[in-house]
Amino acid sequence: MTDRILVAPSILSADFSRLGEEVASLSSLGADWVHLDVMDGHFVPNITFGAPVVRAVRSASKLVFDAHLMVAEPAKWVHEFADAGADVITVHREADAHVHRTLQLIRSLGKKAGVALNPATPECEVEYLLDDADMVLIMSVNPGFGGQKFITSALRKIEAVRNMALRRGTKLDIQVDGGVNPQTAALCRDAGANVLVAGSAVFGAADRARAIAEIRG
Ligand code: DX5
Ligand code: ZN
């Protein structure tokens, strides 16, 4: 975990017809990570892109590639995303009956392992995973689409997971994803999140660099 606040723009809201350029621009806009939303039309009601697209844009940026797998049975796909150049691979607790094993698999490939919780999933679901996870992703919208409204109960969950990590003395990245803008970002930072994902608030902004700076706070 870093003590800095990190901003991870989600390319879900980028112009897909110019994806390479959009990814390439993020470093000079001040972003820290590139957030890659992978959806399979099964775990979530939308389809985006898979490992070949991640591989194709990998050379466009030196930033950390943060793959958020919103797919059923994510263990099946971990190798492919690792090979494609993801640095952080996050899987959903709800999508995987053996998520503990999947986190170990991700780490065995030399990648950082993240576990994500949907808005309805309580924080106790990660309690016995903390030794094997580098990051917990708290969803602040129901996954599937960009541009949704921030669900405020995510703040309590961020706080609870941060306290869990502090009690254990674990260095844990806590990421928040969904409806993050300069206003909600401030609440998330106060609650203990240190990695802020934002799609529409960055790519929809007239001044993207400013949006990133304001989200960082
Ligand atoms: C939602 C995705 C998010 C999404 C965020 O399923 O996981 O990363 O792109 O988009 P905004 O920031 O527009 O809510
Ligand atoms: Zn995401």
Residues 203 and 21: beta-carbon distance below 8 Å: no
No. of H helices and E strands in the chain?
Answer: 8, 8
Q: How close is the Cα of 212 to the center of ligand 1, in Å?
A: 15
Ligand 1 atom nearest to 139, measured from its CA: 7
Q: How close is the Cα of 116 to the center of ligand 2, in Å?
A: 9
Q: How close is the Cα of 166 to the center of ligand 1, in Å?
A: 27
Total-model pTM = 0.98
Residues 65 and 93: beta-carbon distance below 8 Å: no
Structural element, H or E, at residue 104: helix 99-108
Ligand 1 atom nearest to 202, measured from its CA: 12
- Sequence-ordered alpha helix ranges (H) in 132-181: 153-168
Which of 141, 175, 208 to mutate for ligand 1's pocket (most ligand atoms within 8 Å of CB)? Answer: 141
Residue 2's pLDDT is what? 65
Residue 3's pLDDT is what? 76
Q: How close is the Cα of 145 to the center of ligand 2, in Å?
A: 9
Around ligand 1, the residues with Cβ closer than 6 Å are: 10, 12-13, 35, 37, 68, 141, 143-148, 177-180, 197-201
Residue 75 main-chain phi, psi, to 5 deg: -55, -30
Residue stretches of the chain with pLDDT short of 70: 1-2
Residue 1's pLDDT is what? 67
In the residue annotation, 173 being an active-site residue is answered as no
Q: Whose CA is closest to 46, among 119, 146, 137?
A: 146
Residue 81's pLDDT is what? 99
Summarize pLDDT for 144-203 with one digit per residue, the tens.
999 999 999 999 999 999 999 999 999 999 999 999 999 999 999 999 999 999 999 999
In the residue annotation, 132 being an active-site residue is answered as no
Question: Which ligand has the nearest atom to the CA of 9?
Answer: 1
Ligand 1 atom nearest to 141, measured from its CA: 1
**Options 40, 66, 134, 177, the catalytic residue:** 177
Ligand 1 atom nearest to 180, measured from its CA: 12
